[in-house]
Amino acid sequence: MTYRHCTQQLLPGLPTGLKFLALPVGPSEVQNFIQGSLPGLHLMRLRAGNLYTVHSGNNQRELEQWPDRWERFYFDDHLEQLDCEELRFLYPRFAWAW
C-alpha cells in the first residue's frame, strides 16, 4: 500500500485540533497531506527524527526543518511558541539542555 492511500485512510480518524504529528516519511511526501487538513497542526516529526514547523499563510502551508541548534538549545522555547509544551515530556531526549 502506498503512503498516499494510507493518508487518505488516516485523515478521517485524526482530531482536527491536533498540534503535533509524527510520521515515518519525508517532507515531500506530506506536502499534499498538510495542505487541506489539520488546521491546528504546528509541528511534525518526520523520518529520521527531524522536526518541522508547519507555517500557514496565503492558503498555503509549508514545512520548515529545525536546525540542530534549535533542538539543542532552544527546544523548550520553540515548543512554547508553537503551543506544544507537552512534547517536552513525551520526547525528553530532545531536551538537550536539561
CB 47 within 8 A of CB 67: no
Query: Total structural domains in the chain?
Result: 1
Q: How sure is the predictor about 96, in pLDDT bands with cuts at 50, 70 and 90?
A: very low
Instruction: Calculate mean pLDDT across residues 38-57.
Output: 85
Report residue 69 as a C-alpha cell.
Answer: 541548534
More confident residue, 91 or 2: 91
Q: Which triple of cell numbers denotes residue 49?
A: 527524527
74-80 mean pLDDT: 84
Structural domain for 89, as ranges: 3-94
Give the mean pLDDT of the chain: 77
Distance separating alpha carbons of residues 35 and 15, to the nearest angstrom: 16
Q: Is the pLDDT score of 4 beyond 70? A: no
